[in-house]
Amino acid sequence: MHRLALLEKEVLQDRLALQRDEARRAKASEDQLKQRIKDLEAELEGARSEGKAIYAEMSHQCRSLQEAMQTRTRKLEEEVKGLREQLELCQREAEAAQREAKQALGERDQTLAQLRAHVADMEAKYEEILHPGPAPGQAESREASVGRGCAETPCQAQGAAPPVWTQPPGSLKP
C-alpha cells in the first residue's frame, strides 16, 4: 500500500503540477488579453480623440466657409443694388436725353421751316424788285419766268431745302 500511496501521491503531484501549469498559462493568457484590451482601448481612445479633432477642425472650416460665403453674398447683393441704381439713373438720363433730342429736332425743324419761308418771302420780294408790277395780261408770263428760275433739283425733289438763290451770283437776268 505504501506503493500505492506513493503512486497516488505522485499522480496527485503531477496533477497539481499540470493544474499549476494550466493556471500559469491561463494567467498568462489572461494577462495578454488584458494587455491587448488596454492597447485596443488606448487605440480606440486615440481614434476618438483624432475623430474629435478632425470633427472640430471640419466644423471650424465649415463655419469659416459659411461666414466667407455670407460675406461674399452680402457684397454681391450690395454690388447688384448699386448696379441697379446706376442702371435706373442711366435709363432716366437716356430718357431725358431722348426727350431733349426730340425737342431739339422739333425746334430745328421749326427753325428750318421758318428760314425756308423767310427765304421764299425774300426771293419773292427780290423778284418783285427785279420785275416790278406786271402789266395786265403779263401776270402769267411773270409767273412762268419766276418758275423758270426755281426748277427743282433731284435733291429738292427728295425733300432737301431749296437753294436760297435760284440763279448764279452776278446774274441778274430777268
2-11, 13-22, 48-57, 106-115: lowest mean pLDDT where?
2-11
Of 128, 125, 123, 119, the C-alpha closest to 149 is 123
- Give the pLDDT of residue 9: 82
More confident: 24 or 146: 24
163 pLDDT above the threshold of 80: no
Answer for the pair 131, 174: CB distance below 8 angstroms, yes or no: yes
Confidence of residue 141 (pLDDT cuts 50, 70, 90): low
The pLDDT value recorded for residue 135 is 54
Residue 72: the pLDDT is: 96
- Cα–Cα distance for residue pair 109/163, rounded to 1 Å: 17
**Dihedral angle over CA of 166, 167, 172, 174, nearest 10:** -70
pTM, rounded to two decimals: 0.42
Mean pLDDT of 128-147: 61
* DSSP codes of every residue in 61-87: HHHHHHHHHHHHHHHHHHHHHHHHHHH
What is the pLDDT, as a whole number, of residue 174? 43
What average pLDDT is seen over the chain?
Answer: 82
Query: What is the mean predicted confidence (pLDDT) over 153-161?
Result: 49
Min mean pLDDT across 10-24, 44-58, 71-85, 159-173 is at 159-173
d(CA 60, CA 68): 12
